[in-house]
Each structure stands twice: as C-alpha cells, then as structure tokens.
C-alpha cells in the first residue's frame, strides 16, 4: 500500500473511532426509520380505507340487488322512482355507488408527497362536473401545516444538516487547534491531504446512508423485489444527493475556514437552498402565474346552474330537436323526472364551464412545471419531488388518476344516459300491478374503475434528469474545491 | 441596567458583519413572506366577500319554489380569514374555506388553498411565523455562541470579567443585546405590518390589538428562551467547536426535527378514524334518501306521535313532517359521529400542545396560530356556526313544508321572498382569546427553567 492509501486507511479508521460521527449518524438513522414507518403507517391506513370502501360498495350493490328483487312483487301503490333500484333513472342517481381507487405503490413509504392532501379514493357520480368532486380524506390540519416527518423530509432536509455538520467539524480540527502548520510542513499537497479526508468521510457517509435507507425501508415493510427499478433509482438519487452536499461542504472547507466559519457558511447555504429558493420561487410563481381564487368557481357554478335551470325547457327542447330518435317525443319534456333531465342538463353545464375548467388546469400545469424547474435550483425541492415520483405519491400520478377518473365517469355516463334516454324513446312496459318500474337489472354489467399506472421504467426515467444534474453539480463543486486547494492558506 | 455596556454589546453585534447581514437578510425574508401572505389574504378576503354577497342575493332572489328545494339550493358559507393571519396562516390553507349548507348533509369544507397549490408552495414555509420559529433560533444560537464561546476563545471574556463585572450581569447584558437585535429586526417589522394591515382592512379592534400584542410578546419570550439555551450551552461547553456543534445539533433536533416528529407522533399514537369510516357511518345512520321500508316506519312513527290512524288525519303535512323527522334524526347522528370526530382532532391538538414541554418550538408552533386565531379550535368554531345556521335554515324550510294545506287535495303553498328573508345573513364570530392558548404553560416553563439553569451555569462560569 502506498502512503496515500495508508493515509486513506488511517482517515477511515479515524472516522470509525469518532463518537460524534456515530451519534450524528445514529440520530439520522433513527429519523430515517421513523420517517419511513410514519409514511408507511399513513399509507397502510389509506390502503385499508380503500379495501373497506371496496367491500362496502360490493355490500351496497348486493343489498340493492336484493331490494330490486323484493320490489318485483305486485303492489297497489307504485314505488317512487328515487326509492326504486329497478328504475334506471332512479338507480343512476340514488343507488349507483362506484369509487375510483388510487392504490399505493410498493415503495410508497419513501415519501408521503401529496398523498396526505390529495384523495386516493374518489366517488364517481354521473352528475359531478368534469369527473372529480372536490373531496379529500381528512388529515389533521396541524400535521398538514407542520409537514410530515416522512422519509422524504429526512432525506431532503435533515440528512444534509448531518453531512455539513460532520464535514464542517471533522475537516477543521487542525485549523482550529493551530495544527495546520504542522501538516503543511509534511511532504503532502493540501489538495491530497484534505481530499483524502473528505473522501474517507464521504465513503463512510455514502455507505452508512445506503444501509440506513435500505434498513428504514425494510422496517417500513417494503419488499425490494416488488419495486426493484424504483428502489435502485431511489438509492442512486439519495446517494447522489448526499454526494452533492459532501461536494458542497468540500468546496466550503477548501477555503480553510474555522469550524465556526465553515458551519456558519454551510448553514447559510442550507437555508438558501432549502428554504429561501422555494420561498422566493413560490412568491414569483404565485405572482406571475396568476389565477382567480378557487372560490370564484363556486360563484361560476351557481350562476351556470341557475342559468341552465332557468333555460331548462329551451335546453331540453334543443337536445330533443338535435336527435332524430328523441325529436318525435318532445312532448314528454315537461314530464321528465329529475334524474332523466340531468342527463341533458349536466353536459350543458359542463359545456358552459369548460373554458373556466381549461384555464384552471392550465394554471395548475404551469405552476407544476415551474416547480419542476425550480427543483434544479433548490436540490431539496428537486429531490423531494423525485422521491415522491418514485414512491408514486407525486402530483403527476394524481393528475393521471384524475384523468382516468374522468374517462371512467364518461364511460358510466354512456352506459346509463343511453339507457335512461332510451326509456323516453321506447319505455319498458311496467309489469301489471308491479311495485317497481323494472326497466333496469344489469347491475353486474356496471364497469369497475381500474387505475392504469405508469411503468416503473417511466418513473425511473422521470427522476434521471435531477439525479444527473446533482451529479454534475457535485463534480463541479469538487472541481472548485480542487482549484481552491492549490496551496496551503497564507495565514498558517 | 448598564445602558453603556448594553450599547457596547449592540455595537459589537453590529460589527459581526456576517451575522449582522445574515440577520438583515432573514428580516427581509420575513417581511417578504408577510407581504406575500398579506396579498394572498387580501385576494382571498375580497373573493369571499364577493361570493358571500352574491350567495345572499341568490338566496333572496331564488323566486317562488318548494321550500325543500330551497333547502337543497341553500347557500355556501364562507370562512372569513383571521385579521392577523398574515403573521401565521396556521391551519387555514389546509381546511375548507367554504361549506355548502345543504339539506340532509353536514358537508365537508371545500376549496382548501393548498389543494391547488404546487408542491413548491407547501415547501416554501412562506409565512412569517414559520420563519421566526424555525430559522431565527439558528441565528439566536449563533449570536449566543459569538457572545460567550467566541469571546472566551479570544480572551475578551476573561478581560471583561477581570474588571469586576459579575458573570450574571455580564451575560444578562449580552442576552438582552441578542434578544434586542432579534426583536428589533424580526418581530417589530412584522408587528407593525400586522397593525398597518388591520388598519387598512378595517379589522382593528380590541381583540385584534390584544392578539397582536400577545403574539409579539410570545415570540419575544420564545427568542429569550432560545438565546438562553444558546448562552447555557456556550457557557457550559468550554471548547468552542464542541459548543458550536452542540448548538447546531440542538437546532436540528429541537427546531427542525422535533416539531414535525411531535405532530406525526400524535397522529400515529392517537389515530383518527378514517374519513371513509366516518362517511360510511353517516350514510348508514342518516341516509339522505331513505328506502321505502324506512319511509313506512317513519310514517308509522309520525302517526303514533300525533295519535292518529290515517295519514289524512295528521295535523301536519306528511311529507314535511317526514323531512323534518329525518332531518332532526340526522342532527343527532352528525353531533355524535362528526362532532366526536372533530373532538378527537381537538384532543390531538391538545396533546400536541402538551408536547411543548420537549421543545419550545413545538410550544410556539401551537401557541402562535392559537393567538392569531388560525388554529383548529378557531376553525371548529366556523364549522359549528355554519352547521347551526344550516340546521336553522333547513328547519325553517321544513316548517314551511309541514304547514297543513287549507283543504284536502290542495297543493302545498310554495315559498317566496318573504320566507327566504326570514333566514338571516350568515356570520360567524371567533371564540374568545382566553379559551385558546393551551401551550402557554409549556412556554412559561421553558422560560423559568432557562433562567434558573442559566443562573446555575453562570455561577460556575470559567472564563
């Protein structure tokens, strides 16, 4: 072994015997374990709610079918349509219960992302405008306000603090104690001396962080075989992010500051990158990509609903006149029940609100694109978003879910609206003396929602730019450190 | 108080350029966050005022219709933001800002600001209280480190103590200077902005003034506590490096990690029932649309209540009485299921505020929104007020439907503007301030413990 190798081994042993380093890493490991388990606990509860809801939907449908069967008995007084599951219009409005579920991915404990804000369980109703009702699963507002102590938070915010603390302390010992002049008197360049020390710290840190990440996910119950691609990408991303903070710290300590100076500067950089950039970015995005308050949508919805209701006769008459099969039955317009009327009025409401909906979606997408771009300026933001992408708790996956919910709703509308409107053209004869209307019995033909997820490869590809960007930054910062370390400090 | 020595300490702090300019930058950031939050609040309040007025007009001008249809049409109740939420929006961005007061349902609040916000906005800590509670302690620790540990390493502390100044007096002066700088740069500007905002918006009142004063005082006490912690560590640990590392670690643990951990730990240890189970319980126990069998048993109950055998003999309209019966039954269910659920949320908040004993940041995180009026207790008041209003509105409508018709076979009279105008405009008031701050004892305990520990530490101070 040459003398540089011997120095590296000595430095590695020094780190291994440093109690402060292990206290810091121990606390970080505990934080990672808690974060992963906390995220897993939230997602377990949500998955359980999905399973219970699915069972409740099935039980409801079974009870509805049973009632429909019971109501086939003869009766002197017919059942009101809103109490009759055998009436297609009544069923569609008062009995149809379908939910769309967004199941969690195997690696979900990696980051809570937006899973505590956005619903993973959405009721699909035919009259909901644009498919998505503004529903959510209630989470304690205090927890939402302070933010989750999840693995994503620990990796993005706490891990950098541990890294800068260790490098800031362990590389400035000689400087603080006035021993640097003794080191400088040895036949070794400053670049090699500090470089080997930082390399030894980095080697330990990367190894321990990889083990801690794996251990935390294992504790949270993640099956590595269930998401190998995402897991490998997450490991690479976290290690590159750790490397970035090591390289940044290296560039700072390469200026030979004291521990106080190094930690002060690194703390300022941490605040700048992790807090100030998102804060300023948020202010700029909100200021430039403006949207009217979401509350104005209430006003628009009420105005359009009132207007459509006021023009109801005209809207229905136009809808009947526009269809060859309905036109001869225009005389029935005044006798249509509420649910049947809605099959014509809901699309009209959506048509009138489409421009506003389009504008809202545009603003959301622009703001989300800006967030992605800012992730390249604030590594913590970029890493949190990337971890959420790999965990399947990101906003893009939720948008995909919303889009599929809308498609599913349109499919259900096709199924029911055609059958309801067919009753205008050719009503099923009511069985003589029947309690129920009996024009609908296809309960088992109603479709179920199945979420089509993006592939694991596409998730891994989505986080590749951030990973490569952090790697490039790390290389650049190491270059800056190497340039600074051409000579020993003048004030030895 | 030796004013000349205090002035000297101020001057010394001012000369630490890196720390000074970093503090100025933080002060600008806090003011910037305050302005951004204020702007959002102005826009939000304007939107709410517009929509509330439009809703009232729509309610009054809905024309002639069946009162039960009017109860379904109903209104949206809008939550007014607390006057001082520019200082600490608290839970406001995470709770519904509007609720539809519909018959049969106690609906959830809708349009949470954060639902539509990009991830960036959630990460931004974009409010003054979050910055003051999370970031300012790091600067307080740096100031304390500079004032004690660094002066000891430079030998100036030995000189200062050598001229006969008592350690307690000297450190008290240094602490006063540190707290003074923090208050002057970080609290005074946002306090003034808060007051100016209230004057501009016309929300200045005794309650607002008291809340603002108490918020500024609580934040000052918080700064005193963190400066004292910094002084104690810097005085007890004689090696500057070790003192600095400890302070950095303390900031990470006490301020960065523990507040989030505490929120999480409370949520995990005292879990709430899932929204799904709550909704299912409501659907099963108080369905909005009842079945034919349930309808039949309701009819039987109504006949028994009025002591008659036939529907025709009822002294009230059957449909109206049935609607009224189902509605009043749902009130009990809502109180039990939803009321119990919100009680559990409040209990979680109480436990969280008690965890203020393990970190002053947790105590302050709990206290700040309580003082401003943006915590869950205040939101609960809005939920309850809106629900009381809804019940009153629906009961009035049902009473109109219940009126017996003049003659058999006659149509039920429709409601009109005279009936709609009997429903007053929706308003909600905030609960009294003294019911809110449960974290205050924890903060006071931290202050007292800090003073005692600092006094003990200074007795053994080695220059």
The reported pLDDT for the residue numbered A78 is: 79
How crowded is residue A365: how many other Cβ atoms within 10 Å of its Cβ?
Answer: 14
Dist CA A345 CA A351 (whole Å): 10
- Tell me if chain B has a CB within 8 Å of the CB of A71: yes
Q: Angle CA(B351)–CA(B388)–CA(B273) in degrees, nearest 5?
A: 40
* Sequence-distant (≥ 6) Cβ neighbours of residue A8 within 8 angstroms: A196, A199, A200
SS3 A434: strand
Contacts of residue B451, Cβ cutoff 8 Å, sequence gap at least 6: B228
Report d(CA A451, CA B110) in Å as an integer.
25
Q: How many domains is chain A built from?
A: 1
Residue-level pLDDT at B290? 84
The pLDDT value given to residue A161: 94
Q: Which helix (H) or strand (E) holds A352?
A: helix A338-374
Secondary structure (DSSP) of A231-246:
HHHHHHHHHHHHHHHH
Contact of A110 with A151, CB cutoff 8 Å: yes
Mean pLDDT of residues grouped by 10 in chain A (492 residues)?
Answer: 84 93 95 96 96 95 92 81 93 95 97 94 95 90 90 95 94 88 89 95 97 97 95 98 98 92 89 87 82 86 95 95 94 93 96 93 90 92 95 95 97 97 92 84 95 96 97 98 91 76
Tell me the DSSP string of B36-68: HHHHHHHHHHHHHHHHHHHHHHHHHTS-SB-HH
A225–chain B nearest CA distance, Å: 28
Distance, CA of A168 to CA of A479 (rounded, Å): 19
Sign of CA dihedral B92, B334, A43, A61: negative
What DSSP designation does B411 have? P
- Of A366, A355, A377, which is closest to residue A286 (Cα–Cα)? A366
The confidence score (pLDDT) of residue B332 equals 95
Angle between helices B318-354 and B292-306 (to 10 degrees): 100
Q: Do A41 and B93 touch (CB under 8 A)?
A: no
Instruction: Flag if B115 and A118 touch (Cβ within 8 Å).
Output: yes
> Which helix H or strand E contains A122, and what residues bound it?
strand A121-124
Q: Report CB contact under 8 Å: A165, B150.
A: no
Mention every residue, 6+ apart, whose C-beta is less than 8 A from residue A407. A131
Query: What string of DSSP letters covers A286-329?
Result: HHHS----TTHHHHHHHHHHHHHHHTHHHHHHHHHHT-TTTGGG
Chain B segment 169-228 residues within 8 A of A by beta carbon are none
CA gap B326, B71 in Å, rounded: 14
Q: Which pLDDT belongs to residue B123? A: 57
Residuewise pLDDT in 10s, chain B (463 residues): 577 777 887 887 787 777 788 889 889 989 988 998 898 889 889 999 999 999 999 999 999 999 999 999 999 999 988 889 999 999 999 999 999 999 999 999 988 888 877 676 665 457 899 999 999 999 999 888 888 877 777 777 777 777 667 777 788 888 899 999 999 999 999 999 999 999 998 888 889 999 999 999 999 999 999 999 999 998 888 888 888 889 989 999 999 899 999 999 999 899 999 999 999 999 999 988 888 888 888 888 898 888 888 888 888 888 889 999 999 999 999 999 999 999 999 999 999 999 999 999 999 999 999 999 999 999 999 999 999 999 999 999 999 998 877 666 666 778 899 999 999 999 887 777 766 567 889 999 999 999 999 988 887 776 6
pLDDT for B463: 61
Q: Residue A103, by phi and psi: left (phi above 0), alpha (psi -120 to 50) or beta?
A: beta
N- to C-terminal Cα distance for chain B? 22
> What backbone torsions phi and psi does residue B257 show, to the nearest 5 degrees?
-90, -50
Q: Are residues B125 and A286, on separate chains, in Cβ contact within 8 Å?
A: no
d(CA B5, CA B174): 9
Instruction: State whether residue A51 sits within 8 Å of chain B by CB.
Output: no
> Taking CB atoms and an 8 Å cutoff, what residues of chain B touch A162?
252
Q: Could A149 and B98 be called an inter-chain contact, meaning their C-beta atoms sit closer than 8 Å? A: no
Kindly state the tokens that stand for A80. 């009101």
Name the 3-class secondary structure at B228: helix
Residues B45 and B79: their CA atoms lie apart, in Å, by: 9
Residue A205 DSSP label = H
Print the domain residue range for A179. 1-492
Residue A213 in tokens: 């990440």
Cα–Cα distance, B386 to B79 (Å, whole number): 9
Any CB–CB contact under 8 A between A264 and chain B? yes
Q: Are B97 and B121 in contact (CB under 8 A)?
A: no
* CB B368, CB B215: distance < 8 Å: yes
- Sign of the torsion formed by the C-alpha atoms of B273, B276, B277 and B281: positive
* Structure confidence by residue, pLDDT tens digits, B26-46: 899 899 889 988 988 898 899
B110, B114, B349 ranked by CB distance to A142: nearest: B349
Q: Cα–chain-centroid distance for residue B214?
A: 15
- Would you say A37 and A109 are in contact if contact means Cβ atoms under 8 Å apart? yes
Measured between beta carbons, which residues in chain A are less than 8 angstroms from residue B272?
A: 138, 140
Structure-block tokens of residue B215: 């918020």
Structure tokens at A52: 């219970």
Q: What residues 420-439 of chain A have any CB closer than 8 A to a CB of chain B?
A: none
DSSP letter (8 states) at residue B104: T
Residue A62 buriedness (CB in 10 A; 0-12 / 13-18 / 19+): exposed
Q: Which residues of B fall within a CB distance of 8 Å from A279?
A: 29, 32-33, 124-126
Looking at residue B238, its pLDDT comes to 81
- Strands A98-101 and A121-124 turn out to be antiparallel
HSE (side-chain half, CA atoms, 13 Å) at B173: 21
The residues in A 102-131 lying below 8 A from B, measured between CB atoms, are 113-114, 117-118, 121
What pLDDT shows up at residue B263? 92
A142 with B240: Cβ contact below 8 A: no
Within 8 A by CB and 6+ apart from A2, the residues are none
- The ipTM (two decimal places) reads 0.88
- Assign B77 to helix, strand or coil: strand
pLDDT in the model for residue B11: 83
- Taking the C-alpha atoms of residue A153 and residue B135, their distance in angstroms, rounded to an integer, is 16
Radius of gyration of chain B (CA): 29
Alpha-carbon span B333 to B331, nearest angstrom? 5
Does any CB of chain A come closer than 8 Å to the CB of residue B76? yes
User: Residues 6 or more apart from B389 whose CB is under 8 A from it?
Assistant: B77, B101, B426
């Amino acid at each position: 072994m040459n003398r540089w190798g011997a120095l590296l081994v000595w430095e590695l042993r020094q780190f291994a015997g440093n109690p402060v380093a292990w206290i810091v890493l121990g606390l970080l490991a505990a934080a990672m374990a808690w974060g992963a388990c906390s995220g897993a606990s939230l997602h377990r509860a949500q998955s359980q709610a999905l399973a219970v809801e699915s069972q409740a939907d099935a039980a409801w449908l079974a009870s509805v079918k049973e009632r429909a069967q019971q109501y086939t008995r003869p009766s002197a007084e017919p059942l009101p349509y809103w109490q009759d599951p055998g009436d297609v219009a009544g069923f569609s409005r008062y009995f149809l219960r379908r939910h769309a579920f967004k199941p969690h991915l195997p690696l979900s404990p990696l980051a809570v992302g937006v899973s505590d804000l956005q619903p993973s369980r959405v009721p699909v109703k035919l009259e909901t405008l644009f498919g998505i009702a503004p529903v959510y699963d209630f989470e304690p507002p205090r927890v939402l306000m302070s933010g989750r102590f999840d693995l994503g938070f620990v990796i993005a915010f706490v891990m950098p603090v541990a890294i800068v603390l260790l490098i800031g302390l362990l590389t400035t010992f000689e400087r603080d104690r006035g021993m640097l002049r003794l080191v400088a008197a040895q036949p070794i360049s400053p670049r090699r001396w500090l470089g080997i020390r930082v390399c030894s710290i980095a080697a330990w840190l990367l190894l321990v962080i990889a083990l801690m990440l794996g251990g935390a996910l294992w504790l949270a119950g993640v099956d590595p075989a269930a998401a190998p691609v995402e897991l490998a990408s997450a490991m690479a991303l976290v290690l590159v992010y750790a490397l970035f903070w090591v390289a940044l710290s290296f560039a700072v300590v390469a200026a030979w500051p004291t521990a106080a100076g190094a930690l002060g500067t690194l703390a300022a950089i941490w605040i700048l990158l992790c807090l100030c950039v998102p804060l300023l970015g948020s202010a700029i995005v909100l200021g430039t990509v403006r949207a009217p308050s979401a509350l104005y949508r209430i006003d628009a919805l009420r105005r359009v609903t009132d207007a459509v209701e006021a023009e109801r006769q005209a809207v229905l008459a136009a809808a009947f006149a526009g269809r060859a099969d309905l036109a001869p039955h225009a005389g029935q317009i005044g006798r249509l029940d509420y649910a049947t009327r809605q099959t014509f009025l809901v699309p009209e409401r959506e048509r009138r609100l489409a421009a506003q909906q389009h504008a809202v979606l545009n603003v959301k997408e622009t703001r989300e694109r800006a967030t992605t771009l800012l992730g390249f300026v604030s590594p913590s933001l970029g890493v949190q978003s990337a971890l959420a992408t790999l965990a399947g708790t990101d906003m893009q996956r939720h948008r995909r879910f919303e889009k599929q919910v809308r498609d599913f709703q349109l499919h259900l509308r096709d199924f029911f609206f055609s059958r309801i409107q067919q009753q205008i053209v050719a009503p099923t004869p009511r069985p003589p003396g029947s309690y129920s209307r009996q024009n609908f019995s296809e309960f088992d033909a109603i479709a179920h929602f199945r979420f089509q997820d993006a592939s694991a490869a596409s998730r891994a590809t989505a986080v590749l730019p951030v990973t490569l960007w952090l790697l490039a930054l790390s290389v650049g910062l190491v270059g800056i450190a190497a340039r600074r370390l051409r000579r020993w400090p003048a004030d030895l | 108080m030796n004013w000349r020595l205090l002035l000297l300490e101020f001057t010394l702090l001012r000369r630490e350029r890196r720390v000074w300019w970093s503090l100025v930058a933080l002060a600008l950031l806090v003011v910037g966050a305050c302005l951004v939050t204020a702007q959002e609040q102005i826009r939000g309040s304007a939107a709410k005022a517009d929509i509330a007025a439009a809703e009232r007009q729509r309610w009054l001008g809905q024309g002639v219709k069946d009162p039960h249809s009017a109860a379904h049409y109903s209104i949206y109740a809008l939550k007014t933001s607390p006057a001082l939420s520019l200082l600490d929006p608290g839970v406001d961005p995470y709770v519904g800002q509007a609720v539809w007061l519909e018959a049969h349902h106690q609906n959830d609040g809708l349009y949470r600001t954060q639902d539509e916000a990009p991830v960036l906005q959630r990460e931004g800590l974009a409010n003054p209280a979050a910055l003051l509670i999370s970031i300012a302690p790091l600067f307080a620790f740096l100031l304390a480190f500079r004032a004690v540990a660094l002066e000891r390493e430079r030998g100036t502390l030995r000189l200062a103590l050598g001229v006969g100044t008592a350690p307690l007096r000297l450190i008290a002066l240094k602490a006063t200077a540190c707290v003074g700088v923090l208050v002057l740069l970080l609290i005074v500007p946002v306090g003034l902005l808060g007051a100016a905002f209230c004057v501009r918006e016309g929300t200045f009142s005794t309650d607002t003034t008291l809340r603002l004063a108490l918020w500024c005082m609580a934040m000052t006490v918080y700064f005193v506590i963190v400066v004292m912690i910094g002084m104690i560590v810097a005085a007890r640990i004689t090696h500057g490096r070790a003192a600095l590392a400890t302070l950095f670690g303390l900031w990470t643990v006490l301020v960065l990690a523990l507040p989030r951990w505490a929120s999480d730990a409370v949520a995990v240890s005292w879990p709430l029932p899932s929204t799904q189970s709550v909704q299912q319980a409501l659907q099963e126990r108080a369905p909005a649309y009842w079945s034919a069998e349930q309808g039949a048993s309701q009819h039987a109950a109504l006949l028994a209540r009025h002591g008659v055998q036939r529907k025709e003999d009822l002294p009230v309209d059957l449909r109206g009485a049935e609607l009224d019966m189902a509605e009043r039954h749902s009130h009990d269910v809502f109180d039990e299921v939803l009321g119990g659920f919100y009680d559990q949320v409040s209990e979680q908040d109480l436990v969280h505020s008690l965890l203020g004993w393990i970190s002053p940041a947790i105590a302050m995180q709990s206290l700040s929104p309580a003082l401003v009026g943006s915590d869950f207790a205040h939101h609960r008041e809005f939920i309850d007020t809106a629900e009381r209003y809804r019940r009153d509105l629906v009961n009035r409508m049902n009473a109109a439907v219940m009126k017996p018709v003049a003659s058999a076979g006659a149509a039920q009279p429709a409601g009109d503007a005279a009936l709609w105008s009997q429903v007053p405009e929706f308003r909600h008031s905030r609960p009294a301030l003294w019911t809110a701050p449960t974290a205050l004892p924890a903060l006071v305990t931290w202050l007292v413990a800090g003073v005692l520990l600092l006094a003990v530490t200074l007795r053994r101070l080695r220059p």
